[in-house]
Structure 1
Amino acid sequence: MQNVPHGRILWYPGQLTPNASVEATAAYQTVKLNVLRLTGTADSQRNARLAKVRGALCCPACRADLLDFPSFLRCSSCSAEYPVRDGKIYFIEVPNATDELDSVKYRLKKALGKAYYSVGIAVFAPTFPFNYRAAVLRFVEPDKQLVIDIGAGNHRIDQRIVTIDLFDYVATDIVCDLSSLPFRDESVDAFISRSVLEHVPRLTQICKNLARATRKNGLAAHLIPFMFPFHASPHDYQRLTHIGAATLFPGFELLEQRNATGPFTLLTLLLTELFAVIFSLGNERPKAFLYLTFCLIFFPIKFLDFPFVGRPSMLGIAPTIFTVTRKTRSQTPCPL
């Protein structure tokens, strides 16, 4: 089968016009067959996501086009190869979790799958349950747009949204590092994330790269912590005020901003962290399990946040803030 440089293809399956040339039609069919062959799975939804994102992908090392082979993608310029297994693309080797609490969370995410989020996070976590899916879908149309959920973990909020993560979860479509983003310039309609950007080093450079890969009038919708204890996943580098979150992406304008959690979430977080530190006697391994234990004790307090969520006056003491911005102008491509 002929190899097609998909990095040059900027249309998605189903978008060929009736007057498309014979060459374009043949290329489309080749892309479609290559994508289905690469996945090696009957999961039509995963196939559709991979086909949808394929035209936006490039080599993360040099940003050149990628060529398809039966079990990997190869850069047309630097010849770097990226495995494709079970319908997933691996741009990096999967790292190991290094923090004790993060290791516990990682094992729970792998073991519990969706229940980790629908029960563990929504009910027992120390933060007020924020409807991230509903908040995102107010601004994006996954049927028509390429939406990338960065650092999605094992939680897929919508079958039409492509997920990327540093770790290889069941729900992950592309395994990559945000510091080497595998997307072409202005190829993505929206990047979204939930409690991810605090975990990345060199945040300014990574946000410039996310902005680079976002189309003009594309969106950035991110839930970011502010008044929140340290939590590694696998590392924890920064917090952002509402002003910092609103100005994070160069060339973007603010569309909406609200506190996703309030003062009683902050109280729950502080109590959980304090008691875990005291009873662990400074030992990280028991602290991870004690933290989860005290979550089970203090979690009901967070539900008192109900009247305080979504209020501008609470942004100054908000544990987490949801910010939506829109790209208004193109920018100079970021250096590699």
Structure 2
Amino acid sequence: MVQNSDWLDSIKFKVKKKPRLYKFLIEVISPVFYFKKSSYQKIFRYLDPKENIIVNIGSGPFRLHDNIINIDISDYTNVDLIANAKKLPLKNESVDGIINVVSLEHINNPELVMDEFYRLLKPGGYIYTALPFIAGYHASPHDYKRWTISGIKNLHNKFSEQEVNVFGGPTSGLVWILTEWLALLLSFRILPLYKALFILFTLILWPLKFLDILLINHPMSNNIASSFYYIGMKKT
């Protein structure tokens, strides 16, 4: 019988309670090399967090800037407001910027969330999202969607596009899938062995992701990129 649950989800939930450990695992040991710092700083070219109201929706335990308001459905460390992204307790046109990083895939109807983002943004405000493309199943607690660049543009069709580019590179996508594939191949359908092998190959293969430093700017890297980011503006 096909397993449709993520056995790592309960582990990830516990680790998220320790932001420093979770950040280390995500940025170093995970199969994906996110160009996070440079990517996030792109939104700061449009908005100054010291002068503008910016919310990070689906923030998890990460705080990107002291002046950015963290919103999440779970009570993690560094979360300022606990709320569901489909119905946020904020006034219409009350924020200058919205950040949402690799969390929309966990929502079964992300179009409703995009409508909510549009409602919250002031005219002339900016949205920054990052969404997965080539990525293994990772429930939190569910996992529904993947997007091509065309799909991302369609999802953000109410906004005026400013930038769309690779967020997690092609090697990251490869390492993620290869880790899963090797664990499947060598576990002989023995679930405990599969879990052990998945962890083993994660620890062995993660350094390969840094090859994305060479590939991230390749003109065709979007064909098998792990994820993309989008920056858009609410039209005035």
**Both proteins in one fold, TM over 0.5:** yes
Shift, 1:287, TM fit:
4.9
Deviation at 1:261, TM superposition (A): 2.4
Deviation at 1:172, TM superposition (A): 0.7
Q: TM-score by structure 2 length? A: 0.89
The whole-number CA distance in structure 2 between the counterparts of 1:127 and 1:328 is: 33
CA contact (8 A) 1:280 1:290 kept: no
**1:162: Cα distance to partner?**
0.4
Q: Does the alignment pair 1:198 with 2:198? A: no
Query: Deviations along 1:204-227, whole A, 9 cap, x unmatched?
Result: 111111111111111110111011
| Equivalent residue runs for 1:238-277 within 5 Å | 238-277=145-184
- 1:116 aligned onto 2:22: yes
**1-structure distance, mates of 2:127, 2:29:** 28
Three-state SS of the structure 1 residue aligned to 2:200 is helix
Matches within 5 A, 1:159-238: 159-238=66-145
Match in the other structure for 1:327: 234
User: In structure 1, what is the equivalent of residue 56 of structure 2?
Assistant: 149
Partner residue of 1:298 out of 202, 205, 210: 205
Amino acid across the alignment from 1:167: S
Cα distance in 1, alignment partners of residues 28 and 188 from structure 2: 24
Q: Tell me, which stretches of 5 or more residues in structure 2 are unaligned?
A: none
Deviations 1:11-65 (A, max 9, x none): xxxxxxxxxxxxxxxxxxxxxxxxxxxxxxxxxxxxxxxxxxxxxxxxxxxxxxx
Contact 1:123 1:129 (8 Å CA) reproduced: no
Q: What is the TM-score normalised by the length of structure 1?
A: 0.64
Identify if the C-alpha distance between structure 1 residues 142 and 289 changes in structure 2 by more than 3 Å, giving closer, same or farther: farther
CA distance in 2, matches of 1:229, 1:148: 28
Distance 2:209 2:145 in 1: 23
Aligned partner of 2:35 in structure 1 is 130
How far residue 109 of structure 1 moved from its aligned partner, in angstroms, is: 1.7
Distance 1:128 1:185, change over 3 A: same
Matched residues in 2 for 1:310 and 1:114: separation? 29
Contact 1:149 1:164 in 2 (8 A): yes
Q: 2:124 and 2:232 mapped to 1: Cα distance? A: 9
Query: What's the CA shift for 1:289?
Result: 5.5
Q: What residue is the counterpart of 1:50 in the other structure?
A: none
Q: CA separation of 1:167/1:288 partners in 2, compared to 1, >3 Å: closer, same or farther?
A: farther
Q: Please give the alpha-carbon distance, in whole angstroms, between the structure 2 residues aligned to 1:205 and 1:267.
A: 31
Give me the whole-angstrom Cα distance separating, in 2, the residues matched to 1:249 and 1:237: 18
State the one-letter code of the partner of 2:30. Answer: A
**Counterpart of 1:193 in structure 2: which amino acid?**
N
CA spacing shift, 1:293–1:174, aligned 2, 3 Å: farther
Q: Does 1:158 align with 2:65?
A: yes
State the shift of 1:275 in Å.
2.6
State how far apart, in whole Å, the 2-side matches of 1:286 and 1:216 are.
53
Go from structure 1 to structure 2 and tell me whether the alpha carbon gap of 1:103 and 1:185 turns closer, same or farther (over 3 Å shift): same
Does the residue aligned with 2:220 lie in a helix, a strand or coil? helix
Corresponding position of 1:22: none
- In the alignment, is residue 100 of structure 1 matched against residue 7 of structure 2? yes
Q: Which moved more, 1:157-166 or 1:303-312?
A: 303-312
Does the 8 Å contact 1:147/1:190 carry over to 2?
yes
- CA distance 1:175–1:276, shift in 2 (3 Å): farther
1:282 deviation in Å?
A: 6.0
- Give percent identity, aligned residues only: 31
- The equivalent residue for 2:46 is 139
Number of positions where the alignment pairs a residue of Structure 1 with one of Structure 2: 229
Runs of 4+ in 1 over 4 A off after TM superposition: 285-290
Q: Structure 1 residues 250, 314: closer, same or farther in 2, change over 3 A?
A: same
- Look at both structures and tell me which one has the larger radius of gyration over its CA atoms: 1
Secondary structure at 1:140's aligned position in 2? coil
Q: Which amino acid aligns with 2:19?
A: G
- Which amino acid letter does the alignment assign opposite residue 127 of structure 1? V
